[in-house]
Amino acid sequence: MAKVYDFPDMHGHFGSYGGVFVAETLITALDELRVQYEHYRNDVDFQAEYAYELKSYVGRPSPIYHAKRWSAYLGGAQILLKREDLNHTGAHKINNTIGQALLAKRMGKPRVIAETGAGQHGVAAATVAARYGMECVVYMGSEDMKRQETNVYRIKLLGATVVPVDSGSRTLKDALNEAMRDWVTNVEETFYIIGTVAGPHPYPMMVRDFQAIIGREAKIQMQEEYGRQPDTLIACVGGGSNAIGLFFPYIEDKNVNMIGVEAAGLGIKTGKHAATLLTGKPGVLHGNRTYLIQDEDGQIIETHSISAGLDYPGVGPEHAWLKDTNRAQYVAITDDEALAAFHMMCCYEGIIPALESSHALAYAAKLAPTLDKEKLLLVNLSGRGDKDIDIVAQAASIIS
C-alpha cells in the first residue's frame, strides 16, 4: 500500500525543510501555539464556527467558473477558474485570517499583528480584527506602501494601525522581520497572524490547513459539475498559500498534475525576479529551512516582481518538499506575460484578476493550446485586481 502523505512530522519538518529556526525568546510562544492549534484543529466546535464564518462572512463556497470564451480563443484545454477573488475582501487570504483570529480569541490574545506585502493579507487581518473586536497592527514595507496605497487606506479604514518598515529592502521580508520583533516583545498578549505558508512550525501547517478549504471545495465541485477531477492544477506561488490550499487535498491523487507559477519579473536572466524554487538554494530564513534567493555569502537578495504579493525571496517549506519529490512542478512567468494575461482576462471574461493570479493565468495561457479540448485546467484565481489597476495603467502607458 502506498504511504499516506502525512507531512509535516511532529517537529514541523517536510523532509529536510520547515522546522523551527527562531531565537529562544519565541520558542515558548510557538510551543503554546502548536499545542493550542493541535487541540483546536480536532475540536468540533472550533471547526463548526470556522465553517460558519466561511459561509456567512466570507461567502464560501467560491464557485468554479468555466472561462469558455478565453478557452475557445486559446484553442486547447478548457480553463476553469476557482473564484477566490469573489471572497469577502477579494482574495483567498481571509480563509486563513479567520482561522487564526478564531484561534487567537480562544487563546485569550486581545491583540493581533500581521505582515503584509501586497496589502491583501493586511486587509484580511484588519478585517477579522474588526469583526472580532481585536486590536490590530499591520507591518508593511515602505516601498510596498507606495505600490499599494489603496490597501494601506483600506487597512486604516478597518481600524488597524499600519507601521511602515524602513529597514532592508522595505518589502515583505522586512515587514516579516519587524512583525517577528513585535511578537518577541509583546508575546504574552499578542497573536501573530502570518499570511502565508512560511515561518516557523506550526505556521506552514496551520495556514495550509486553513487554506485547504480551496482544494476540498474544488474536489466536490469538480465531481458534481464535471463528473471528474481536473488534469492539472495551476496556482501562483510567492510564499505559496493559495497554491498549497488548492494542491494539498490533491497530493494523493497522483493523476492530477500540480503546477506552481513563480514570478520571473523582468526575466530570470536579468536577476530581477522572485523565482525562488527555480533559481534559489536551500537555507534558513524567517524560522524555516526552505529555498531562498541568496548570494554566495548566504545574504538574502532583493527580489523583483510587478506583483507585490509574489515579491518574496523565500517560499513555503512544503513547496520545497513538493518540488524535490517531484510531486509538483514549478515554472515562472514574467511581468509582461502576467500583464498580457491580466488584459485577456478582463476582455474575454469580464474579470479583473490580481497581478499575482495573473501569473497563474499566463501559464495556463501557455499550456492550454498544447493540450486537446477535453483536458481540464483548474486555475486558482486567488484574488481580484482592483488593487492593481494603477500599476497596470502605469505599465500600459509605458508599453504603448
Partner 1 sequence: MSRIAATFHTLSQNNRKALIPFITAGDPEPTMTVLLMHELVSVGADIIELGVPFSDPMADGPTIQRSYERALKNHVGLKDVLEMVAEFRRTNTVTPVVLMGYANPVEVMGYQRFAVRAKECGVDAVLTVDYPPEECEEWLENLKQKKIDAIFLLSPTTPQTRIQQIAKRAQGFVYYVSLKGVTGAAHFDLREVANKLADIRSYVSIPIGVGFGIHDDVTASAVAELADAVVVGSRIIEVIEKSAKEDVLMNVSNLVKSLRNAIDKVSIKHRTAGIKR
Residues forming contacts to partner 1 in the complex (CB under 8 A) are: 11, 19-25, 27-29, 167-168, 173-174, 177, 180-181, 184-188, 281-287, 289, 292, 294, 296-300
Residue 137: count of CB within 10 angstroms of its CB: 20
* Smallest distance, partner 1 to C-beta of residue 325, A: 21
Comparing CB distances to partner 1, the nearer of 180 and 236 is 180
* Smallest distance, partner 1 to C-beta of residue 60, A: 34
Comparing CB distances to partner 1, the nearer of 173 and 323 is 173
132 φ, ψ (degrees, to nearest 5): -105, 10
Bridge partners, residue 139, by sequence: 115, 163
Q: Is-contact 30 18, C-beta < 8 A?
A: no
Task: From the candidates 71, 169, 307, 382, give the one annotated as an active-site residue.
Answer: 382
Comparing CB distances to partner 1, the nearer of 189 and 225 is 189
Dist. CA 189–CA 185, nearest whole Å:
10
* Smallest distance, partner 1 to C-beta of residue 55, A: 37
* Smallest distance, partner 1 to C-beta of residue 281, A: 7
Comparing CB distances to partner 1, the nearer of 89 and 169 is 169
The letter for the amino acid at 92 is H
Task: From the candidates 93, 109, 173, 323, give the one annotated as an active-site residue.
Answer: 93
Dist. CA 327–CA 343, nearest whole Å:
31
Comparing CB distances to partner 1, the nearer of 82 and 323 is 323
* Smallest distance, partner 1 to C-beta of residue 27, A: 6
Comparing CB distances to partner 1, the nearer of 107 and 347 is 107
Report the b/e string of 312-340 with b at 16+ CB within 10 A.
bbbbbbbbbbbbbeebbebbbbbbbbbbb
* Smallest distance, partner 1 to C-beta of residue 395, A: 29
Q: Would you call 115 a catalytic residue per the annotation?
A: yes
Dist. CA 392–CA 388, nearest whole Å:
6
Q: Would you call 149 a catalytic residue per the annotation?
A: no
Comparing CB distances to partner 1, the nearer of 150 and 177 is 177
Closest CA to 342 of 376, 390, 287: 390
Q: Would you call 93 a catalytic residue per the annotation?
A: yes
Q: In the block, which residue shows the cell 485569550?
A: 108
Dist. CA 179–CA 275, nearest whole Å:
24
Q: In the block, which residue shows the cell 499600519?
A: 162
* Smallest distance, partner 1 to C-beta of residue 170, A: 12
Annotated catalytic sites, by residue? 93, 115, 382
